[in-house]
Amino acid sequence: MSIDANARSRGLNTPADFWGLVDLVNNIPAAHEVLSDIRAATEDMRQERDALRVTEETILTGNQRNAEKEAELDKRQAALDAREAQLNGRAAAQTARGKELDTLQATREQEAMARTEALDQRERDLNAFAAKFEGVRQAMTVLS
């Protein structure tokens, strides 16, 4: 196999391909420097990725804590809402009882006023009877 056939079997079909390979071999130190820069950048990226993972874990942990706190607050709010509903029920019952008492009081006042009026009427009737009786007594005194 000739050098030309060997070069073609390796993908070097034109002289430009060959000289490109020669340039590449001549630039190996520069390629090592670029490769070193790439490795350093890759390491920096790994460190940044690890820092981001730590930050992400911190955020997730914080989110979990916040969710737990929010759940606790929701439980407390539900308990407060239940207590408020209970107190509102009691207040409504007490208001209804107060209305009943007001109605009962008004009824008792009306009954008392009716009794007072009846007593006043009876007193007037008795005074009228007493006046008639006094008139009859005076007439009997005069006749006697």
Query: What are the residue boundaries of the structural domains of the chain, listed by start?
Result: 3-143
Model confidence at 9, in pLDDT bands (50, 70, 90)? low
Rounded to 5°, the CA angle 67-69-75 comes to 105
12-57 pLDDT, tens digit per residue, is 566 666 667 677 667 777 767 877 888 899 999 999 999 999 999 9
74-123 pLDDT, tens digit per residue, is 999 999 999 999 999 999 999 999 999 999 999 999 999 999 999 999 99
Alpha helices for 1-144 (secondary structure H): 3-9, 15-26, 28-143
pLDDT given at position 45: 95
pLDDT given at position 35: 78
pLDDT given at position 73: 97
Q: How far apart, in whole angstroms, are the C-alpha atoms of residue 46 and residue 110?
A: 93
